[in-house]
A = this chain, B = another copy of it.
Amino acid sequence: MVRKTKEEAGVTRCHIIEAARRVFLECGVGRTSLEKIAAAAGVTRGAVYWHFKNKTELFFAMREEAVLPFLDRVVFDSADDDPLGGIERAIHEIIRILIDQPRTRETFDILTFKCEYVDEFSPMVACTEGQLDFLDRLTDAYGRARERGQLRLPADPQALAYDTFLFIGGLIRHWLAATADQPFRVDAEAFIRTHIALRRA
């Protein structure tokens, strides 16, 4: 047993989180044992219990890693000359992130399909603060689009934001569930264009 330096221990911790993500994705959170995670990370359960209190804590550590950078990347520029186009670009950006960030995609996949929202996980079903914040910023963006006369009337920014929010929720879910050759992946960009075209003046 060669004791690791502090830096090496950090690496081990990362390996465990990566392994957890892979196993969660394959087995589902409920059917994932810490033994499976440890094996996938090339360590023993001892290492896992050293870095994390239990599976739940490990799960939330994994989630944090992917969700926070995600929200940072989807932004609406309030000084944008073309707010409606900005909304469209933001939605395209969401799909782009799912395509080229495997960790984010896998984490969303786990959160959407491989996790049961009961007991310690049940608080997660409600809209997160991040989601509500997103809704607010979306409403603002539609407000600016209306000021610029980009929207066909009647155009209540709040109502439009909710419609778009629900659209995005459905889109992410079906995009994740689809295989690479199915409509929800192939035509996602077209769906986004249609969605925005419906509200353009």
> A199 an interface residue at 8 Å Cβ cutoff?
yes
Binary contact track A170-200/B, C-beta < 8 Å → 1, others 0: 1101100110000100010011001101110
Chain B residues closer than 8 Å to A115, beta-carbon distance: 116
Q: How far is the CA of A31 from the CA of B171 in the complex (A)?
A: 29
Query: Contacts A116-B28, A198-B199 hold; do A162 and B177 have CB atoms under 8 A apart?
Result: no
Q: Does A48 contact B (CB under 8 A)?
A: no
Encoded as 1 (CB less than 8 Å from any B CB) or 0, chain A from 145 to 188 comes to 00000000010100110110111111101100110000100010
Chain A interface, number of residues (Cβ within 8 angstroms): 42
A49 near B: Cβ within 8 Å?
no
Which among A170, A173, A177, A195 has the greatest number of chain B C-beta atoms within 10 A? A170
A154 contacts across to B, CB distance below 8 A: 197
A126: Cβ under 8 A from any B Cβ: yes
Cβ contact within 8 Å between B173 and A173? yes
